[in-house]
Amino acid sequence: MPPTVRPEHRLSDEPANSDRFVGGLSESIGGPLGSHAVRTSSRFWTPSRVVLLLICAMLSFSWMQKSPCRDGAWADMKQYKYFCYTDVLALYYAEGLNEGQVPYADHQVEYPVLTGAFMGVLGLPVHSLGQQQAIDNPGQTFYDLNAVVLSAFGIAAVAATLAVRRRRPWDAAMFAAAPALFVSATVNWDLFCVGLASIAIVFWARRRPLLAGLFLGLATAAKFYPVLILGALLVLCLRTGKWKEALATFGVGAGTWLAVNVPVAVLYWDSWAKFWDFNSQRGIDWGTLWYIGAHFPRGSGQYGFPFFQNLDTDPTHSTLNMLYLSLFLVCCVGILVIGLTAPTPPRLAQLAFLIVAAFLITGKVWSQQYVLWLIPLAVLARPRWGAFLAWQAAEVLYFVSFYGELMGASGRQVFPEGVFVLASILRLVTLAVLVGYVIRDIRHPELDVVRDTYEGEDPDGGVFNRDEVEPAPLDPPPLVKTL
């Protein structure tokens, strides 16, 4: 009996045929799959299963990379030398979870409410088990438990990418194999928020605006960046005039965020307000545009320009806050103009990526784990491997140099300040190049590989599309049925 031809492969994109970078690499193993190659329905290892296995392996390797720090014995700057520092373990002690303190009620937490609740839900049982001497190292158990749960949200984010890219399943492999995911997955709790935001995008794509709003509200209650995705919806509403579903998403999202935050704000105002106070009072952080200006090598052992250095001397940082927010708003206006003047309405993921990238590029804080915010959006916005891997390489270089910089700040000089500044510049430039490519695809939709696969439509667009993007599965050809 001849093999059954799976009809969905006629709809699928294969990177070796559509991506010059992958096609070039494939030459080392024989080149792209030919047009007459036969694929059988008995294959167990479908692209989706391979991608899900890949993300599970990547998160397992990431856990192994952090394992030298799991015991909490961070003597002789081990957490920097082995690149294994994680806020998850450090804040188990710093936030009083090791003493059984309830976030917000007993101890002020510098994170939004849902992340604080996440910490407490996992931390308090671990503390209780430690008190009962049921576990030997509560800090290690807390980190391992967090790693498992955060990995589940990371897998959910990849599954969400697969769900909105059924014709392009290999795009999700960019997320699953991202080098920056390997080094940053459990540095903080960002994967929790990334998973929720990714699920929200799936529900919007499936034209379920209420559920999209619910998960966007939850994601924003965990980390604040998902609210920026609403900006992408706003641009498309202005462009298309389709407001009904978007307003439902806005309303449910706001209601969900209020439902999570208001009880804590009413009962523990000072604790709830710490997140907002902490972020408004932060100065120039490592690796940002502002840090580069304040530490740029100028020769003769001199670093930085006085304008940027003076911004960090104001204890209130009011001028810095005004400047970076103004610059971000200028970028948002530019994105709005691009969205309204493009030949066709931009795709949702393209706009969301541009807004979040602009927020990080112009912001005064750009923590190493913030790359997790961008990876799924970058994959959905422009699934091209070349520029993506260049950006990822710059992120890993920044990650390594950042720990060298931390060792220098702790009294053990590893390299000159200019090395870290150069790594920061490379991270910023490679991301800016990726932003430029996304803008080019918006201005020239014929270059957009996602639109090409989906016959001009946006698989994430939901109601902004003319019709459902994903067609019903095709019936097998009559000859195959007969056989």
Residue 65: pLDDT over 60: yes
Residue 35 lies in a domain: no
Residues 119 and 109: beta-carbon distance below 8 Å? yes
Residue 476: pLDDT over 70: no
Among candidates 224, 174, 179, which has minimal Cα distance to 197?
A: 224
Q: For residues 65 and 210, what is the distance between their CA atoms, to the nearest angstrom?
A: 39
Residues 170 and 47: beta-carbon distance below 8 Å? yes
pLDDT at 442: 98
Residue 300 lies in a domain: yes
pLDDT above 90 coverage of the chain, percent: 80
pLDDT in tens, 418-429: 999 999 999 999
pLDDT band at 481 (very low <50, low <70, confident <90, very high): very low
pLDDT at 34: 59
Residue 461 lies in a domain: yes
pLDDT band at 320 (very low <50, low <70, confident <90, very high): very high
Residue 482 lies in a domain: no
Residue 100 lies in a domain: yes
pLDDT in tens, 272-315: 999 999 999 999 999 999 999 999 998 777 888 999 999 988 88
Residue 99: pLDDT over 80: yes
pTM above 0.85, yes or no: yes
**Number of domains the chain contains:** 1
Residue 232 lies in a domain: yes
pLDDT at 413: 87
How many alpha carbons lie under 13 Å from residue 259 in its C-beta half-sphere?
A: 12
Residue 33 lies in a domain: no
Residue 184 lies in a domain: yes
**Domain assignment of residue 159, given as a range:** 7-21+51-469
pLDDT in tens, 383-403: 999 999 999 999 999 999 999
Q: For residues 7 and 41, what is the distance between their CA atoms, to the nearest angstrom?
A: 10
Q: For residues 230 and 246, what is the distance between their CA atoms, to the nearest angstrom?
A: 9
pLDDT in tens, 196-244: 999 999 999 999 999 999 999 999 999 999 999 999 999 999 999 999 9
